[in-house]
Chains A and B, each alone.
Chain A
């Protein structure tokens, strides 16, 4: 969905490096999410934010941190990357006041490889 963009699209890094993945949206949605996707597994929630002042841990938050800089921006950081954080990372948004309040809309993803 072009309304949700992620940068970079691909990143290769080394163990121990700090990495930031960025997400921007033009949908005007209050809620934003970060997921990781591994082969053969479903999407797993890392962190989510209901508004600029709200940050919540998901089911697999260890080793990650987030920042909600504005309604439109939600970044994910790996403070010290490790190989098992190699995965596809997706940002998503939802609009609790909209016609489909529970539906989440996804960005194109970031493929991260940690060597």
Chain B
């Protein structure tokens, strides 16, 4: 999962396994959350989002779970593929029409064939 240290947390999985990446967010007033995927040499790419009035949202092979009680967000990737190898990070919007997203530092996912 995410940490505030200088070294990215890492998760290594076998191809075909499910992956779970965790994120602890900071602001209890945040009402919108996003997961981004960043491949080496590329910009962050939107994966999936969730609003605070939901606790689960599913996309194609991905599911985001939100636990507001403990301020925790997770991204589940089903049947992980080598192309899923990347840094994943969460972002939170602290509410309303506020422009600002606060980004986590990321988790490096490595998928072994």
Q: Please list the residues of chain A having a beta carbon within 8 angstroms of any beta carbon in chain B.
A: 1, 4, 31, 33, 39-43, 45, 48, 50, 90, 94, 96, 100-109
Contacts and interface: CB of A to CB of B under 8 A. Distances in A.
Contacts, number: 51
B43 A102 contact: no
Given A40-B6, A40-B105, A41-B105, A1 B43 contact: yes
A88 to B, nearest CB: 9
Given A31-B99, A42-B89, A50-B99, A109 B43 contact: yes
B46 A103 contact: yes
Contacts of A106: 36, 43-45
B7 A40 contact: yes
16 contacts: A4-B43, A39-B6, A40-B5, A40-B8, A42-B102, A43-B103, A45-B100, A90-B44, A96-B97, A102-B34, A102-B49, A103-B46, A104-B101, A105-B46, A106-B43, A109-B41
Interface in B98-113: 99-106
Interface size range of chain B in the complex: 20 to 34
Interface in B64-113: 89, 91, 93, 97, 99-106
Contacts of A101: 97
A45 B42 CA distance: 18
Given A31-B99, A102-B93, A42 B105 contact: yes
